Amino acid sequence: MLDAGLPVRAFFTARAGGTSAAPYESLNLATHVGDAPEAVARNRAAVSVVAGAPVSFLTAEHGIRVVEVTRPGQQPEPGDVVVTRTPGVALGAIAADCMPILLHDAVTGAVAAVHAGREGLRRGAVDSAVAALLDMRTPVQRRGRAGLSASIGPAICGRCYEVPLDLRDAVAARHPTARSATRAGTPALDLPRAAESRLGELGFTAVIRHRACTAEDPTLFSHRRDGVTGRHAGVIVCGVSVR
Ligand SMILES: [Zn+2]
């Protein structure tokens, strides 16, 4: 587990500590990748113990749909952003190369977990998540941006994420800082850099970015590197202060 560094309990999981067999070894949290359902259930239960509450994991669609959870353990509708302002609710976004992003608003206590990859970013997943968080403020509170913090979890880096030129340009049209190149000089995308800059533009003064690259770090799941594999997650708990 990697501490997300936010004011409430929030962390990113890695590969170790679970019960799944190869090629999902071992803390796979995704139900859609072919792993044994009972292994995934055990892994999710273990992560819920760390969270101190049953984690509501997103079922990602690679879009920008926002869903809300209002009670602990509630299964969210499919979407790529899940928000709550209910203390004791734990939210989870799973990924393996895409970014899990965790958001906290100290003004309202609301939290969000976001799954953001190339397609989500191109369609505005970060904007969508921030808008959902700000929607929970009163109009007066919404005039300011103080109190917003974010943590961007492990994802594929801008040197590893090679994409065709047209895909790079499509994402860079919305997020210029996503434009990158591989070590060999071919077109690539830097998703974490794009998310970090966009969060800054939207008024987040505290953005933590975990630099681990999923494709290069064998302690993390990487779909690009391994094909059939598991997924790790970013988890955030509403109302449980740690700092
Ligand atoms: Zn890399």
Angle at 235 between CA 234 and CA 236, to 5 degrees: 130
Q: Please list the pLDDT of the chain residue by residue as tens digits (243 residues).
A: 899 999 999 999 999 999 999 999 999 999 999 999 999 999 999 999 999 999 999 999 988 999 999 999 999 999 999 999 999 999 999 999 999 999 999 999 999 999 999 999 999 999 999 999 999 999 999 999 999 999 999 999 999 999 999 999 999 999 999 999 999 999 999 999 999 999 999 999 899 999 999 999 999 999 999 999 999 999 999 999 997
User: Measured between alpha carbons, how far is 218 from 229 in angstroms, rounded to an integer?
Assistant: 12
Residue 108's Cα: distance from chain center in Å?
21
Residue 98 within a domain = yes
- What's residue 131's pLDDT? 97
Give the distance (Å) from ligand 1 centre to CA of residue 243: 31
- What's residue 170's pLDDT? 96
Give the residue numbers spanning the domain of 55. 2-238
Give the distance (Å) from ligand 1 centre to CA of residue 70: 37
Residue 68 within a domain = yes
The CATH number of the domain holding residue 85 is 3.60.140.10
* Number of domains present in the structure of the chain: 1
Residue 243 within a domain = no
Give the distance (Å) from ligand 1 centre to CA of residue 211: 9
- What's residue 62's pLDDT? 87
Residue 191 within a domain = yes
